[in-house]
Amino acid sequence: MNWIQPKFTDFLVPPSKKPKLENNPSIDKKEPISSVTEPHKAVKCEESRLPSKPRTRNDLVVNKKKIEEIESWLNGVKRKGRTSILLLTGPPGSGKLTTLKVLCSEMKINVIEWLPQINSRTFDPENVGFYQSMASQFDEFISRATRYSNILNAMSSRLIVVKDVPNCFVRDPSSFHELLANYSQVPDVHLALILTDVPLARSLFPEHIKTSLPLTTASFNPVTLKGVKDALKKQFPSKCAPYIDGVAASCNGDLRQAIASFEFLAKNGVVSTAKKKSGESKGKSGKEDFIDIFHGLGRVLYSKREADGKLVHDPVEIGESFTSSPELFTGMLHENYLNTFSCVHDVAAASETLSMADTLLNDFKDSLASRSLSLVIASSGFMLRNSAPIKKFQQMNKPRKIDNLLVEFRSQFSDTNVLLDTVALGRLIPSFARENSYLLSQLGKLK
């Protein structure tokens, strides 16, 4: 019944706006869930405010290798009779969608994009039958997009791009897996999923799903500083040249943000030096810059100092960025710190702070303040005490887990001391060793 509803608003868009299909099929967007009553509204590409988008792959600031990777996947799309899913991950503004679109336009692949519209259908108590869940809308979109082709370019291959996975799947990944598994059976379905959130990507695509589906993954890195600068120069060739450095540094590899702030600068006209400064002092104007755990460990363990003895990185800042997983951070620090210390007196002082940090961490486990306090104590202890760090690359190890071998056998003896004595010496007594060979073989000997 409801598959008769006109879904693809392309047909209703006034012809003057229609792009020439050879030039730019990527604008050939379909609005998946347009409401029947107002079909003319919408279809507005979010990037349209940008002065100029990259048209060819040479305009892209993404790593060449990455582009080739995606190109080879798209080659697979062009071949008939196969099904594939591409998972693109990376921070916002690193050019995931842009790369995909540019390559598709070069290779003449139709891009159909899922644009979720929250208010397209509100729940109407009088007309319950009309209500459709997000999940089924998504399902329907995919089935339509794969089955029915646009009349104008019916023969070309199609690629469905999903930028925001509907929230219902975030809550219930298993239904999402089911859906993907269903579509991986159908030939000629090509899905590209774009996710910015790494933990989300992990929960939606656990290892067993990755292996069971025809899934290819590609993760994008933030755009390099040079890349941002080049792109900005190309976009705004004449004006604002002196501010490029500041804006590029403050955007943390988010090209979209960089361009937006540049536009803002240009429109305001008042380009103050303050803006430039704050850009240089990093992270103040933009979002909080996130340090991943290895960066944090590196900064703590190989603490850098300026000429006047001041620390380059602020231990408080580092400590406070790991409050969500304090135990992992202290564990990693402990496992790796010995390799970077050259003097045992420093080790003594540093290990003492670590011991203190652990005590604090356990004392008021639930309070955020004590967590960050203990992390700050640990990180500043290591940074300040290490008078002569060994600056050499070393592999970082994970904290070891201690599995107590005795636990399994504890209950056979009345207490731990009895167990220890009996096991250590009973080994030598033949009658005991015979009766308890399993226990002794499990426990092994200390060497």
Partner 1 sequence: MSLWVDKHRPTSLQKLDFHLTQAQHLKNLVNQGDFPHLLFYGPSGAGKKTRIMALLKELYGPGVERLRMEQMTFTTPSNKKVDVMTVASNYHIEINPSDAGIHDRIVVMELIKNSAQTHQLDTSGQREFKVILLTEVDRLSKDAQHALRRTMEKYVATCRIILCANSVSQVIPAIKSRCLSIRVPAPSLQQVVAVLQNVCKKEGLTLPAELAERIAQKSDRNLRRAILMCEACKAQQYPFTPGQTVTEPDWQVYLRETAKIILSEQTPKKLMDVRGRLYELLIHGIPTDVIFKSLITELGKSVDMELKVRIAEMAAKFEHQMHNGSKVIFHLEAFIANFMSLYLHYIEDGVNAMF
State which of positions 315-334 bind partner 1 (CB under 8 A). Answer: 327, 330-331, 334
**What is d(CA 347, CA 388) in angstroms, rounded to the nearest whole number?**
11
Q: Which stretch binds partner 1 (CB under 8 A): 10-18, 47-55, 317-325, 409-417?
A: 409-417
Shortest approach of partner 1 to residue 446 CB, angstroms? 4
Q: Which stretch binds partner 1 (CB under 8 A): 32-40, 50-58, 77-85, 418-426?
A: 418-426
Q: Which stretch binds partner 1 (CB under 8 A): 53-61, 186-194, 300-308, 412-420?
A: 412-420
* Block residue for tokens 């380009």: 271
**What is d(CA 227, CA 62) in angstroms, rounded to the nearest whole number?**
8
Spatial CB neighbours of 280, under 8 Å, sequence gap ≥ 6: 245, 246, 249, 250
Shortest approach of partner 1 to residue 361 CB, angstroms? 7
Shortest approach of partner 1 to residue 330 CB, angstroms? 7
Q: How many residues does the chain have?
A: 447
Residue 351 lies near partner 1 (rule: CB under 8 A)? yes
Tell me which amino acid residue 200 is.
L
Judged by CB under 8 A, the residue of 14, 81, 199, 430 near partner 1 is: 430
Judged by CB under 8 A, the residue of 358, 377, 383, 439 near partner 1 is: 358
**What is d(CA 178, CA 139) in angstroms, rounded to the nearest whole number?**
11
Distances (CA, A) of 391 to 29, 218, 314, 352: 53, 32, 19, 22
Q: Identify which of residues 258 and 376 has a Cβ nearer to partner 1 in the complex.
A: 376
Q: Identify which of residues 281 and 359 has a Cβ nearer to partner 1 in the complex.
A: 359
**What is d(CA 63, CA 276) in angstroms, rounded to the nearest whole number?**
28
Residue 265 lies near partner 1 (rule: CB under 8 A)? no
Q: Which stretch binds partner 1 (CB under 8 A): 209-217, 253-261, 311-319, 343-351?
A: 343-351
Q: Which stretch binds partner 1 (CB under 8 A): 51-59, 88-96, 265-273, 341-349?
A: 341-349
Residue 445 lies near partner 1 (rule: CB under 8 A)? yes
Spatial CB neighbours of 13, under 8 Å, sequence gap ≥ 6: 40, 43
Q: Identify which of residues 181 and 420 has a Cβ nearer to partner 1 in the complex.
A: 420
Residue 46 lies near partner 1 (rule: CB under 8 A)? no
- Transcribe 247-275 into DSSP letters: HHHHTTT-HHHHHHHHHHHHHH----HHH
Token representation of residue 59:
């305009």
Distances (CA, A) of 198 to 40, 121, 138, 160, 293: 36, 30, 22, 21, 14
> Using CB under 8 A as the criterion, which residues of the chain lie in contact with partner 1 when the complex forms?
327, 330-331, 334, 338-339, 341-345, 347-352, 354-356, 358-359, 361-363, 400, 402-407, 410-412, 414-422, 424-432, 443-447
